[in-house]
Amino acid sequence: MTRRPISSDLVGLEFPVTRQTWSSKDTMLYALGVGARPADDLDYVYEGRGPKVLPTYAVIPGGTALGGMMRAVEMRLEMLLHGEQSIELVRPLPPEASVEVTGRITEVWDKGKAAVLGVESVARDADGDLFRTHATLFVRGAGGFGGERGPSAGDVEVVPDRAPDIVARLDTRPEQGAVYRLSGDRNPIHIDPEFARMGGFDAPFMHGLCTYGIVGRAVLRELCADDPAAFRSFGGRFADRVQYGDTIVTKIWRTGDGEAIVQGETGDGRVVLSQARTTFAAVG
């Protein structure tokens, strides 16, 4: 396949349909990758309890659309940063599945010194639609192609001017990235110091989607009583890097029935997941 240069003409480009399968081994490994531990999360890491599947696992099979975009579009791996991620679940994810994933480019923005590309994926199994994902990639050094600048960070809702209703703290481990990457995101910038320096970083740092999964675990526990069937959607913007060993503090503001604004921070107060929202069903 000939890779195409980044331009506004890419909007609407569809990728070949892929078939993705997973087993309970895959979903349990993902749970460990986003910090689940037997003492608190046994249902997600032990086949004797199902296992349940973390809703944010959808980013793994849904991420094949990102792979399709990287194969179709000219971009340098070391210059990529994950910009935003959202998921919308139609049904709880099963621990064993085979799905067809369709993907397409939804937007291309010219930020001057960088380009932003958005991609959407839809996964379907024998019973119909299972989930939808949307992600953006921030490609440093790829702007200036004459496209529209697109929305700015100030165009979206910010956290309420009051104390959060819920605060949850979850620790990360030094080996977090080494475990998370086994679920499929093998970008060496998250494990190889030399490759990280090539990208302009002092050291490897945690996958944005690992941070997303950790905050998603807090949302699931605090708003859904740890019931994946109550988890409807979750999306946010990656605002800063997380270092291995950081504590991730999830702050939640309820804004209505089944709706909340979410923000992820490090223990020292740096915002790492911003402009995040979730929807959920009432439990109990």
Distances (CA, A) of 231 to 72, 222, 263: 33, 11, 17
Q: pLDDT higher for 1 or 199?
A: 199
Provide the pLDDT for residue 213. 98
Over residues 185-192, mean pLDDT: 93
235-246 per-residue burial string, b: 16 or more CB within 10 A, e: under 16:
bbbbbebbbbeb
pLDDT tens digits for 39-89? 999 999 999 998 999 999 999 999 988 888 888 999 988 888 899 999 999
Catalytic residues: 185, 190
Look up tokens 């940063």; give the residue.
81
Q: What is the pLDDT of residues 195-212, one digit of tens each?
A: 999 989 999 999 999 999
- Say yes or no to pLDDT of 284 above 70: no
Contact by Cβ (8 Å): 177, 245:
no
At 283 the pLDDT is 74
Query: Quick one: fold of 8-280?
Result: Thiol Ester Dehydrase; Chain A (3.10.129)
Q: What is the pLDDT of residues 217-226, one digit of tens each?
A: 999 999 999 9
Please check the confidence at residue 93 and state whether its pLDDT lies above 90: yes
Q: Of 160, 167, 278, which Cα lies nearest the Cα of 216?
A: 278
Q: Would you say 129 and 123 are in contact if contact means Cβ atoms under 8 Å apart?
A: yes
Whether residue 104 has pLDDT greater than 70 = yes
Q: What are phi and psi of 70, to 5 degrees?
A: -70, -30
What DSSP string describes 120-161? EEEEEETTEEEEEEEEEEEEET---SS------GGGS----S
Instruction: Encode pLDDT of 237-277 as tens digits.
Output: 999 999 999 999 999 999 999 999 999 999 999 999 999 99
pLDDT confidence of residue 97: 98
Tokens read off for 51: 């296992």
With pLDDT > 90 as the criterion, what percentage of the chain qualifies?
88
Q: Going by C-beta distance under 8 Å and a sequence separation of 6 or more, which residues neighbour residue 146?
A: 7, 8, 110
- In contact, 157 and 277? CB cutoff 8 Å: yes
**What pLDDT is recorded for position 157?**
61
